[in-house]
Structure 1
Amino acid sequence: MLLTEPGTAADDATSTALLNCLIREVCAPEQQVRPDGAHLVARLPRAGVVLRTGLARPPVGPTYRLAPPYEERRGDEWIPATWDRLANLVAGELELATGRPNPEFLTQVDDSHTALAAIIAARGEASDDRYIDSEQSLVAGHRFHPSAKSRQGSPTDWLPYAPETRARFRPQWLAVPEDLFAEEGSPDAFKSLDAYGPASRHGRRLLPVHPWQFSLMADNPVLQEALARGLLLNLGPGDIEAVPTSSVRTVYLPDADVFCKFSLDVRITNCVRKNAWYELTGAMTLNELVPPIFEQLGSTFLTEPAYRSTTLADRRLYEGLSLILRQGVKGLPGTPLLAGALADPSNTFLADLPALADPDGAQAWWDAYVTQVVPPVLRAYLDHGVVLEPHLQNVLVCVDADGMPLHAAFRDLEGTKLTAGRWDLAHLPPRVAEGLTYAPDRGWNRVVYCLVVNHLTEIAAAVADLYPHLERSLWRTLGTHLAAHDHHPQVRALLAGVPLPAKANLRTRWSRTADRGATYVPVPNPLAASRPL
């Protein structure tokens, strides 16, 4: 799809995402969708409009595999439905369904489309490093988000720092006096990164800063005064190179083998991305608790051992100039690959793995994949009360030379929570503790959505793109793995076929709800086929 002209590719990707959301969150729950041979027909019941899309194959998992052309019925004819026409139809249906308008929605879809076209046009050459290439491969982004590439600001501002363009850049460095310097966590964590920074001055500490982040804060009067008075020294870019990863604001510095999670304080997709003050402290708390649990489980959670910022008298600067350090990937076995790259139908990461050269190999590959990914996530929740967000951008799958999965590494303490009532957090400030917990039912929904719907469903569908006849078998294999945990009632319910919870990204965007408050819609659970009544 993304090998066509940028405009056409952006049109198709935007249309696909809108229809994926519409069908999952509106048409299917209201029984307004039906397969029709090589097509899928969907009705917008309140708008009184009928749409038709291509259908790559009959559905087995909880989602459809849609394909162009996208059409609207007018009388007895099917006419092309452009991406902007679809956006208007979706907006009209949601306004009628909710009784509330959202004047931001169409602008955000348009911004996403514009950003995607700009990304495709600016995309550079692939890296020789397979891991880095996987991080920078998610050109179209989330297939079930109405504005997956929506990004605050003009493309001219952020294209130099966009992972999808295969960008690289050098961070800027500030020299901060000790009395204005904030650091928490392991005192030695930053040593490998500091070694690549410019020479600091006596009594000052180094603070790496994202250039886009720094430009966005340039008009902050407290920052301007601190620079003018020499309280902060702008040392300019250093020698070390940063590679933006799939999250945009987290970058990998291969020479130091560390990640820096910067606080851009800009809206990317649905949320304003920043390191809130309570998340900085929360990350340090979780870093003491979570990685050791995964080590016990024979898996890996990438540590976040320290953060830095400045204590200038402005909370926006404390949050906005902060960065969280994250463990690198060079100590992992095999070659790490971003799970999202394997699931993305617009690239060939999965098809290029030798292990999937034939159906038997693909079946064995899936068995190994599930073996590495599923048990740590389930046991972390069920046995330890840790709620992971193992979605496609939070999991690295380490493979051998043939591409067979050897190990899984999980990441992102911001999305990691603790089950309320299972941990004693009384020693923490109330706002920090609040940000670290989920109620048990909400935590389970988040785990199942991220692991099964967002992640495994999409990986299974990508394998089935290569070998369509395998899809049912892939779900049976997953059921076999889950059965090892069926002494837990939540897992028994999954195996019995209770509908899966899918995060309602379209409705969340329409209602302008924070991601933490996102609702879920039920989607079909093909695991039921392995345990008939």
Structure 2
Amino acid sequence: MYFPASPAEEAVAAELAAVRPALGPAYGAALDGARAAVLTRLWRALAFEPLPWVVAREPGRAGLALLLAGGGRLEGPPPDAYATDAYVTELLLDGKPYRHAARLVAALGVPHGEEFAAELDGSTASLALSRAGRPPVGRDVAAHTTWQWEQRVVDGHPYHPNCRSRPGFSVAEQLAYAPEHRPVVELGLVPVRAEECLVTGEWPAQLRDAGRIMVPVHPWQAAHALKHEQVRDGFAAHPLMALRTLAPVAGGAHVKTALSTRLTSSVRDISGYSVETAAAVSDFAQTLSEHLDGRLRFTRTLGAATAHGPDLAAVLREPPELYADAPAGERVLPVAALASYPQARSAAWRAGFARLALSVCLRVLELGVALEAHGQNLLVVLSATGAPLRLVYRDLADIRISPARLVRHGLPVPPLSGRLITDDVTVLRRKLFGSLLTGALGATAGSAGAFAEAFAEAAGLPPTADTEALLTGGLPTKALTLMRLSPGVPGDQWAELPNPLAGG
């Protein structure tokens, strides 16, 4: 059966023909796989999230059927909450086949579905574009730098249907700025009078000029959000998997820039609160790392600056490579890149990594800090033979800190207030479990069966109340699709996934 191209797919094809026609055939060949990848992510959401218009779920031998408000019936294969391969190629709505997530959401006719369908259409087309430029995996993976490993993460978020949603980016801009296309990006510098800036930490001398703070800006931001600002020439940098965070070609601190557009779920600007708290949180994290036996290091935030609001701001932080012994052959990989690391396909390797990640992150939680340990923030240091040795964590802007737990363990409470601070056990566990378990480790395993197998061998977790909660009942995950369909509801919303560790 023929399924015609969607509006976004046709638009990308037309732009591609104008700006890089040689990539056109590869883009066309990648469309079916991209459709299945986004549809698989959407099916996970439909199968598990508390969507108000799904009134019942009927599992059967052939798969799962959803009974919808209004009498509709949506059918698909047995859902696997931890699958990362594109195993869903078609869903049936009242017997009619759908192979495109955007068309399915439009047909469902749910509140705010029209906007979400447009995002899914863009995500599918951009994912095909990303895959079209993917290089073949080389044999000598040990030679790759950390930023090159980051650029291997072609598919984006492993479970979000908006894994490659980039509204406001043309095809030319995606090719010029997106990490999977491996460009070199020329960052600009905006001079701002020092008295008009909020600066925390140590802002380097090379980013100061005659009483002005030189704020690094992304070229997309300069073109679309800072049209009236004076932008000077800056420096060349490699985009990391976060796209707006870059590693300078000349080396040195990584630069997190502001992008006033929504990527996946969030607008990627930099709040004043993040700048205000950056230095204090970084100092606190260094103190915390002293209690972790060298198994976890935090990249320091070196400086942060903001001017004129969240559209013009930047954060400078240490590169994670500082915490690997390069002469000894050690290297650092973000957890999201483990899908392209050959040894990570071994059940024994996954068990060792799971044991390291869980034991360390549960210890940190017991001490009083819930990390947002998804595959982008969490990195693993590998030995010369590929064994997981220790962890590195970066980007402290969205951790959660429990003063009560810190005090219980005799640790200093940082001078902070606001959203980073909470003693709510549910909030703390959701933050860690929803990023590490139902995010990073689930995606590394790639299926519920492999997830359960890895943890069956990952014994020796610390005997705490958090561990007990982890090993019983369901596991929390952000209800990403529900959140996109609930634009008037602030904050995160949550779903519960089957727990392979509990046999659930």
The TM-score normalised by the length of structure 2 is 0.81
Question: Which stretch shifts more, 364-373 or 403-412?
Answer: 364-373
- After superposition, what is the alpha-carbon deviation per residue over 1:286-345, rounded to whole angstroms, capped at 9, x for unaligned? 1111232124202111111211344xxxx33xx3221111111232221111111224xx
Q: Residues of 1 paired with 2:404 and 2:156: CA distance?
A: 36
Aligned residue identity for 1:525 = N
Residue of structure 1 in register with 2:118 after alignment: 107
Distance 1:336 1:32 in 2: 42
Matched, 1:476 2:473: no
Per the alignment, residue 333 of structure 2 pairs with 337
- State the match for 1:230 in structure 2: none
| C-alpha separation in 1, matches of 2:320 and 2:162 | 30
Aligned 8 A contact 1:6 1:117 in 2: yes
- Give distance in 2, aligned partners of 1:125 and 1:160: 20
1:489 to 465, 468, 486: 465
> What is the DSSP-based 3-state SS (H/G/I as helix, E as strand, rest coil) of the residue aligned with 2:460?
helix
1:507 matches 2:457: no
Shift in alpha-carbon separation, 1:142–1:524, aligned structure 2, 3 A: same
Do residues 258 (structure 1) and 238 (structure 2) align? no
1:238-264 CA distances to partner (integer Å, 9 max, x unpaired)?
A: 3xx311111121112253232111111
Residue 437 of structure 1 deviates from its aligned partner by 1.9
8 Å CA contact 2:65–2:74 kept in 1: the answer is yes
| 1:442-485, Cα deviation, whole Å (9 max, x unpaired) | 121121111211122222236x8xxx7x654322123x233xx2
- How many correspondences in the alignment? 460
Q: Which residue of 2 aligns with 1:9?
A: 33
Query: 1:513: Cα distance to partner?
Result: 5.7
Give structure 1 stretches of 5+ with no counterpart. Answer: 228-233, 344-348, 357-361
Distance in 1 (CA, whole Å) between partners of 2:89 and 2:82 is: 22
Secondary structure of the residue that 1:256 maps to in structure 2? coil
- Aligned pairs (5 A) from 1:450-469: 450-461=435-446
Distance 1:81 1:177, change over 3 A: closer
User: What amino acid sits opposite 1:476 in the alignment?
Assistant: A
Q: Pairwise mapping of residues 17-32 of structure 1 onto structure 2 (< 5 A)?
A: 17-25=41-49, 32=57
Amino acid at match of 2:127: L
User: Percent same amino acid at aligned positions?
Assistant: 25
The answer on whether the counterparts of 1:27 and 1:43 sit within 8 Å (CA) in structure 2 is no
User: Match for residue 67 of structure 1?
Assistant: 87
1:437 is matched by which residue type in structure 2?
Answer: I
Q: How far apart are the structure 2 equivalents of 1:268 and 1:406?
A: 32
Match in the other structure for 2:164: 149
Supply the distance in 2 between the matched residues of 1:475 and 1:340 (Cα, whole angstroms). Answer: 19
Task: Look up the match of 1:346.
Answer: none
Deviations 1:393-447 (A, max 9, x none): 111112123322112111111111212655799996xxx7212223332121121
Distance between the aligned counterparts of 1:125 and 1:236, measured in 2? 34
CA contact (8 A) 1:120 1:165 kept: no
Q: Are positions 1:291 and 2:286 aligned together?
A: yes
Match for 1:253: what amino acid?
P
**What SS class does the counterpart of residue 380 from structure 2 fall into?**
strand
Q: CA deviation at 1:183?
A: 2.6
Q: Tell me how far 1:269 sits from its aligned partner.
A: 1.2
Tell me the distance in 2 between the aligned counterparts of 1:294 and 1:121: 41
Let me know the Cα RMSD of the aligned residues. Answer: 3.3
Q: Secondary structure at the match of 1:144?
A: coil
Structure 1: how far apart are the matches of 2:425 and 2:349?
33
* 3-state SS, counterpart of residue 434 of structure 1: coil
> Which consecutive unaligned segments of at least 5 residues does structure 2 have?
1-25, 325-329
Following the alignment from structure 1 to structure 2, what is the Cα–Cα distance between the partners of residues 179 and 526? 54
CA deviation vs aligned residue, 1:359-400 (integer Å, no higher than 9, x gap):
xxx2431232123312221122112x1121001111111212
Match of 2:356 among 372, 376, 379: 372
SS of equivalent residue, structure 1 residue 370 = helix
Distance 2:148 2:84 in 1: 27
Closer/same/farther in 2, CA of residues 380 and 472 from structure 1, 3 Å limit: closer
Matching of residues 45-194 of structure 1 within 5 Å: 45-46=68-69, 47-53=71-77, 67-72=87-92, 79=97, 81-89=99-107, 91-92=108-109, 95=110, 100-123=111-134, 129-155=144-170, 156-186=172-202, 190=204, 194=206
Q: Which residue of 1 aligns with 2:304?
A: 307
- Aligned letter for 2:73? V
Q: Is the 8 A contact 2:56 2:67 kept in 1?
A: no
Whether the 8 Å contact between 1:184 and 1:308 is mirrored in structure 2 is yes
Q: Pick one of 233, 236, 239 that aligns with 1:236.
A: 233
1:274 alignment partner AA? D
SS of structure 1 residue aligned to 2:457:
helix
Residue in structure 2 matched with residue 433 of structure 1 by the alignment = 417
Q: Is the alpha carbon distance of 1:235 and 1:370 closer, same or farther for their aligned partners in structure 2, counting shifts above 3 Å?
A: same
Aligned AA (2:444): I
Distance 2:212 2:418 in 1: 34
The separation in 2 between residues aligned to 1:394 and 1:175, in whole angstroms, is 30
* Residues 154 and 180 in structure 2, CA contact (< 8 A), matched pair in contact too: yes
